[in-house]
Copies of this chain bind each other. A is one copy, B any other.
């Protein structure tokens, strides 16, 4: 699986686990609602600061999330 799609899947999974809507997540990590949607649908890729601020809200360490992305990506 390509990397942005892997990230989108992992993001969606952890957002649901946190019990947040795209809007709530966007609000808390100071991003746009539509942009979270774009990330989950793999139409945008985050920079690493964006990654860190999302992970902070999701209460997960960035490297944990990246590890899951690696698995889906296949390395």
Contacts and interface: CB of A to CB of B under 8 A. Distances in A.
Interface in A42-75: 45-49, 51-52, 56, 61-64, 66-67, 69-70, 73, 75
Interface residues of A, number: 21
Contacts of A7: 48
A4 interface: yes
15 contacts: A3-B48, A4-B49, A45-B47, A45-B49, A46-B48, A48-B48, A48-B69, A56-B75, A61-B67, A61-B70, A61-B75, A62-B69, A63-B64, A63-B66, A63-B70
A57 B71 CA distance: 18
Contacts of A73: 52
